[in-house]
Amino acid sequence: MEIRKVELYLLDMKLKEPFKTSFGVTDVRPVVLVRVEERGGEEGWGELVAGHGPWYSYETYEIDYLVLEKYIVPLIIGENLKDITDYVKLVSKIRGYPMAKAAVEEALWDLYSRETGIPLSKLFGGVKEEVVSGVSIGIKPNVEMLIKEVYRRLDEGYRRIKIKIEPGKDVVLVKKIREEFGDIPLQVDANSAYTIADVDVFLKLDKFGLLMIEQPLGYDDLLHHSILSKKLITPICLDESIKNLHDVILAYKLGSAEIINIKPARVSGPFESKKILDVVSGLGLGAWIGGMLETGIGRAFLVALASHPSVTYPNDISASDRYWNEDIVEPPWILTKNGTI
């Protein structure tokens, strides 16, 4: 792949409805699309998922746009890349900025897939024709609105419900959902909103038969996740704490998690994601693919990775109409009657 051109496109995508987590509220998502073109004219597309502020990650779309334009794109212009490993080696000299690196890597995977005629799912070791889809529900102003949305998402066919929690909006919400819906597949996501001092909250949540508790403590706190994990029956799932395969192995050795949420953008791209997927099942860890409010372009990589045999839990990969009135891909991603994508 001799790269002759790289183009960046900045869009503002308005969500159908605001999405609230313990970090804050998102109603408009900045989207940077990356288009690469090789010498023969074939193209590939990727997506930057960094948001407005440094909350989930230190990366923001404005900083990453600068990193892309000034540092990453110049590295590959005119380069003849044999495969994706050449790109990974090139950008390894840039410290950090996994989301920026992932955006270009996705575009190169797309280009490579088009040139070779091999589907992305096969390039990533996938074996499934459909992937099981769960849905993530943000923090609502009141319990009644939350219950109403759970009804709506179950009616749409989603096979797992995940709710965002924060201090003061946690145990009561889970209790109400269990009372209303019984033993549905249910998990919670704290986005690092708690500390080990909140152990009593998690001991109460532990009684509700949750699939997992996702990222309850600080993003860099593997030690206290290990302590908390030993006190609970419910598995701990790590998200923000996992930046690469090394972190997965460290979390496994410490006993900090039993499940890993793999977000390609968080771990520098599909290449590192596949490395993690190739290892987790051998360690006895569960895995699933998480989302970052992607458009249909970024969603394609999530679906392809979710077809890997190591993915053992429903994924945060919703249909296009979950977040967007109109996606930027045609056809849009849809949820089947079986709750799959």
**Is residue 283 within 8 Å of 258, Cβ to Cβ?**
no
Is-contact 315 131, C-beta < 8 A? yes
Q: Which of 20, 101, 162, 164 is catalytic?
A: 164
Name the catalytic one among 20, 162, 263, 274: 263
Q: Could you give the C-alpha distances from 307 to 206, 275, 322, in angstroms and in order?
A: 30, 14, 21
Give me the pLDDT at residue 24, please. 80
Query: Looking at residue 46, what DSSP letter applies?
Result: E
The residues, any chain, with a CB within 8 Å of residue 81's CB and separated by 6 or more, are 1, 2, 3, 87, 108
| CATH architecture for the domain at 122-322 | Alpha-Beta Barrel (3.20)
Residue ranges per structural domain of the chain? 3-118, 122-322
Contact 336, 129 (CB under 8 A): no
Per-residue pLDDT at 20: 79
Indicate if 263 belongs to the active site: yes
Look at residue 232 in the predicted model and tell me its pLDDT.
98
Beta bridge partners of 307: none
In this predicted structure, what is the pLDDT of residue 21?
Answer: 85
pTM for the complete prediction? 0.94
Catalytic, 164? Answer yes
Q: Where are the alpha helices (DSSP H) in the chain?
A: 61-67, 73-76, 84-91, 98-116, 120-123, 143-156, 171-181, 199-205, 222-231, 245-254, 270-283, 296-306
CATH number of 3-118: 3.30.390.10
pLDDT value of residue 27: 84
pLDDT in tens, the chain (341 residues): 899 999 999 999 999 888 878 778 888 999 999 999 999 999 999 999 999 999 899 999 999 999 999 999 999 999 899 999 999 999 999 999 999 999 999 999 999 999 999 999 999 999 999 999 999 999 999 999 999 999 999 999 999 999 999 999 999 999 999 999 999 999 999 999 999 999 999 999 999 999 999 999 999 999 999 999 999 999 999 999 999 999 999 999 999 999 999 999 999 999 999 999 999 999 999 999 999 999 999 999 999 999 999 999 999 999 999 889 999 999 999 999 999 99
Q: Are 110 and 35 in contact (CB under 8 A)?
A: no
